[in-house]
Amino acid sequence: MRRTKVTVVGAGNVGASCAQRIAERDYADVVLVDIVEGLPQGKALDMNQSGPVVGYEPNLIGTNTYEDTSGSDIFIITSGLARQPGMSRDDLLQKNKQIVTGVAREVADRSPDAILIVVTNPLDAMCHVASDATKFPRQRVVGMAGILDSARFRTFLSWELGVSAKDVNGFVLGGHGDTMVPCVSYTTVAGVPVEQRISADRLEEIVQRTRDGGAEIVKLLEKGSAYYAPSAAVAEMVDAIVLDQKRILPCAALCQGEYGIEGLFVGVPIRLGAEGIEEIVEIELNAREREELGKSADTVRELVGTLAEI
């Protein structure tokens, strides 16, 4: 029986961590691609040598080309630039648009049946770039953001209440950025609405910390950004696809009328399984959440409009 083949593009912190987490699950062969000579080869060799200790088969390949990626079942795009001092948002958009377009074309040429997971920022805009370049159906292009943002939200809530994070359920919708929408009305602690456990003012502070979650880590690190939690979120998506788990997860998906949003990748609950996005799950949001989701979608639309001009 052929093992699943997963390609991770970008051997930086996020990409390498994704490759490691997926390799450790031992259900897939992993190809790690990067343009820097020696980087993916060295990291793949190191991970392979971890296999006998951790207990997985050493089946990782590091490469600077795409030949070894042919026939991949899942492609994960983490490659791209972080915003540098003096770089405008439009500069970052243009550079990452070029990078993601190039990768997506390789995916379409070599793995035309793959499911594509986009991680590169700005996430929602890069999903549009990947979708346009591959021409894949919307079921097979999905962005990782909501799982990460939701994990941050659940972490902060568990600390606030002194309870296990496993008992905190909730999710974050909308664009991956300042306008994300933590859905407080659907957040529970062991089935109890969180609004019964935490005051409205304190909840708002936790919501804001969630929105600032990535920036908080960047500020602490000074050089670099988050990668442990982002890679864990990607691995959860890969699990759902490879194992056909039918998980309901918040991910960036191309909405075609759902939630009143047309033709935009926005974070929404989806059912994720072997076919990719098997359903966009529509839930009844309260008036404030509906308004915030609409504003978040408007921000994504503006970003996509800028993309079309560069």
Name the percent of the chain lying above pLDDT 70.
Answer: 97
Query: Residue 261: which domain range?
Result: 146-309
More confident residue, 84 or 301: 301
Rounded distance, CA 95 to CA 84, Å?
Answer: 12
Rounded distance, CA 172 to CA 251, Å?
Answer: 9
Rounded distance, CA 216 to CA 145, Å?
Answer: 16
- Tell me which residue of 308, 307, 305, 298 sits closest to 262, measured CA to CA: 298
> Does one domain contain both 13 and 138?
yes
> Does one domain contain both 85 and 205?
no
Which residue's structure tokens are 């306008």? 179
> Does one domain contain both 182 and 127?
no
Residue 54 has what pLDDT?
97
Residue 92 has what pLDDT?
80
Give the mean model confidence (pLDDT) for residues 13-33. Answer: 98
Last residue of a domain, one of 143, 162, 184: 143
pLDDT in tens, 168-203: 999 999 999 889 999 999 999 999 999 999 999 999
Last residue of a domain, one of 110, 143, 176: 143
Cβ proximity of 235 and 76 under 8 Å: no
pLDDT in tens, 139-160: 999 999 999 999 999 999 999 9
Rounded distance, CA 123 to CA 141, Å?
Answer: 12
Question: In this structure, what CATH number is given to the domain that contains residue 55?
Answer: 3.40.50.720
> Does one domain contain both 201 and 116?
no
List active site positions.
176
Residue 283 has what pLDDT?
95
Chain mean position to CA 256: 20
Last residue of a domain, one of 143, 159, 176: 143
> Does one domain contain both 79 and 213?
no
Residue 224 has what pLDDT?
86
Residue 89 has what pLDDT?
66
User: Would you place residue 307 in the very low, low, confident or very high pLDDT band (cuts 50, 70, 90)?
Assistant: confident
Total tally of structural domains belonging to the chain = 2
Question: Quick check: helix, strand or coil at residue 8?
Answer: strand
